[in-house]
């Protein structure tokens, strides 16, 4: 019998580790492991999904015109340059499928989001990782990592799991220094959390080699329904649309996202709470000897003295019903990524870390 094998690269993919949601034997668990919005989706998005239920026998829109128009209005973008996907993960996958194949390289940073590697391998391309500078994207390292085979360069700005970001001048320097055959992808999954930040729109509009990906999974609280989008030069969006399945985003997801992005009052509320409790959490943990870099997103990367302490604290938090994220797989063995929850969640985290640090184990 000959063995039937998949395409090269597929068997090198390690399964994506999603944030845990349960602890055996512990009730009243708070999940702070996936950077979800602690307040849930906008009530208007919930109502839109409920209203969509009676029409679920109908196929969804295949051009996503309603949602693309809403995105265009809210962000001041041309809807013709917007593509919607089943989460921004799908846009990342389209980019890799469209632009990278066997022999090509896909570049990202050492603490970069794991979907870049997975999608590069799925496309048969070679993932290439470069160093960061103290948990911050290093433009020089990325430029030095480019070769004549580099097709895609991914950075998340702000980045997950570090929470740090680089400024517009650095992003522009990266875009302008890439070889002519490479596309820069700005992953803006957390862009909404940065006040006044355009996520790179101005840089994209002035160039032909930069795109961005965005999501409804974080600030908009819609991770469960899978909707994200991309924005870039019309010719690149046209390429991605050719790969896209006609019904890749469900009818419920389309109406939920449109309602969520139009509910600006709710978005404001979530942003204010996040900013307030993120600062409080970071300060309280720092006072306990657990520092973190200033976070630009909805989580903090808490640093412990070593891997053993991080593991010990994670185990203690779990025993208290608090689920955070280990990030050794992101080359950060001494750290834990903690999503900024509501007031109660933040207070419970600080109390538990204090107890752990105080020797209650
Ligand atoms: C959460 C996240 C995404 C978004 O994933 P979706 O597929 O849109 O749910 C993309 N990039 C980064 C860096 C993320 O943290």
Domain interval for residue 193: 43-262
Give the β-pairing of 82-85 and 228-231. antiparallel
Same domain, 35 and 73: no
Ligand 1 centroid–CA 269 distance in Å is: 22
Query: Could you tell me if the CB of 158 is within 6 A of ligand 1?
Result: no
- Examine the fold and report which residue of 262, 278, 296 is the final residue of a domain before the chain moves on: 262
Residue 3 lies in a domain: no
Ligand 1 centroid–CA 213 distance in Å is: 9
Q: State pLDDT tens for residues 153-198.
A: 999 999 999 999 999 999 999 999 999 999 999 999 999 999 999 9
Total domains, the chain: 2
Q: pLDDT tens string for the chain (361 positions)?
A: 788 999 989 999 988 877 777 788 888 899 999 999 999 999 999 999 999 999 999 999 999 999 999 999 999 999 999 999 999 999 999 999 999 999 999 999 999 999 999 999 999 999 999 999 999 999 999 999 999 999 999 999 999 999 999 999 999 999 999 999 999 999 999 999 999 999 999 999 999 999 999 999 999 999 999 999 999 999 999 999 999 999 999 999 999 999 999 999 999 999 999 999 999 999 999 999 999 999 999 999 999 999 999 999 999 999 999 999 999 999 999 999 999 999 999 999 999 999 999 976 5
Query: Could you tell me if the CB of 145 is within 6 A of ligand 1?
Result: no
Ligand 1 centroid–CA 90 distance in Å is: 10
Ligand 1 centroid–CA 50 distance in Å is: 25
Query: Could you tell me if the CB of 33 is within 6 A of ligand 1?
Result: no
Same domain, 298 and 219: no
Residue 294 lies in a domain: yes
Residue 84 lies in a domain: yes
Closest atom of ligand 1 to CA, residue 86 = 7
Residue 11 lies in a domain: no
| pLDDT of the residue at 52 | 96
Query: Could you tell me if the CB of 81 is within 6 A of ligand 1?
Result: no
Query: Could you tell me if the CB of 87 is within 6 A of ligand 1?
Result: yes
Query: Could you tell me if the CB of 88 is within 6 A of ligand 1?
Result: yes
Please name the residue that has the structure tokens 């068997």: 11
Take residue 303 and report the two structure tokens written for it: 């640093």
Residue nearest to ligand 1 atom 6, measured at CA: 87
Residue nearest to ligand 1 atom 3, measured at CA: 189
Same domain, 196 and 258: yes
- Examine the fold and report which residue of 235, 262, 289 is the final residue of a domain before the chain moves on: 262
Same domain, 143 and 156: yes
Same domain, 226 and 316: no
Same domain, 280 and 203: no
| pLDDT of the residue at 360 | 62
Same domain, 224 and 310: no
Same domain, 159 and 70: yes
Same domain, 335 and 229: no
Please report, for the domain that includes residue 139, its CATH number.
3.40.640.10
Closest atom of ligand 1 to CA, residue 34 = 1
Residue 10 lies in a domain: no
Same domain, 269 and 315: yes
């Amino acid at each position: 019998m000959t063995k039937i094998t998949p395409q090269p690269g597929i068997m090198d993919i390690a399964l994506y580790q999603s944030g845990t949601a349960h602890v055996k034997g512990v009730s009243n668990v708070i999940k702070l492991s996936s950077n979800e919005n602690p307040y849930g989706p906008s009530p208007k998005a919930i109502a839109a999904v409920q209203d969509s239920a009676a029409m679920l026998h109908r196929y969804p829109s295949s051009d996503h015109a309603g949602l693309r128009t809403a995105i265009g209005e809210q962000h001041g973008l041309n809807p013709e340059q917007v593509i919607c996907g089943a989460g921004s993960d799908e846009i990342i996958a389209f980019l890799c499928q469209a632009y990278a194949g066997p022999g090509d390289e896909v570049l990202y940073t050492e603490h970069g989001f794991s979907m870049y590697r997975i999608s590069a391998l799925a496309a048969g391309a070679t993932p290439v990782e470069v160093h960061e500078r103290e948990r911050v994207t290093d433009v020089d390292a990325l430029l030095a990592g480019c070769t004549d085979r580099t097709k895609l360069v991914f950075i998340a700005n702000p980045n997950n799991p570090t929470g740090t970001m680089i400024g517009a001048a650095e992003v522009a320097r990266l875009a302008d220094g890439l070889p002519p055959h490479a596309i820069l992808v700005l992953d803006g999954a957390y862009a909404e959390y940065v006040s006044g930040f355009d996520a790179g729109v101005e840089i994209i509009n002035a160039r032909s080699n930069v795109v961005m990906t965005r999501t409804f999974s974080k600030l908009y609280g819609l991770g469960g329904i899978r909707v994200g989008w991309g924005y870039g030069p019309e010719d690149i969006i046209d390429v991605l649309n050719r790969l896209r399945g006609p019904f890749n985003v469900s009818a419920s997801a389309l109406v939920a996202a449109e309602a969520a992005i139009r509910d600006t009052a709710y978005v404001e509320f979530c942003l204010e709470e996040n900013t307030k409790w993120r600062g409080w959490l970071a300060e309280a943990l720092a006072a306990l000897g657990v520092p973190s870099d200033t976070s630009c997103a909805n989580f903090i990367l808490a640093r412990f003295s070593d891997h053993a302490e991080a593991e010990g604290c994670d185990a203690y938090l779990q025993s208290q019903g608090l689920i955070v994220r280990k990030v050794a797989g992101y080359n950060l063995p001494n750290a834990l990524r903690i999503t900024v929850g509501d007031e109660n969640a933040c207070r419970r985290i600080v109390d538990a870390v204090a107890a752990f640090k105080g020797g209650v184990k």
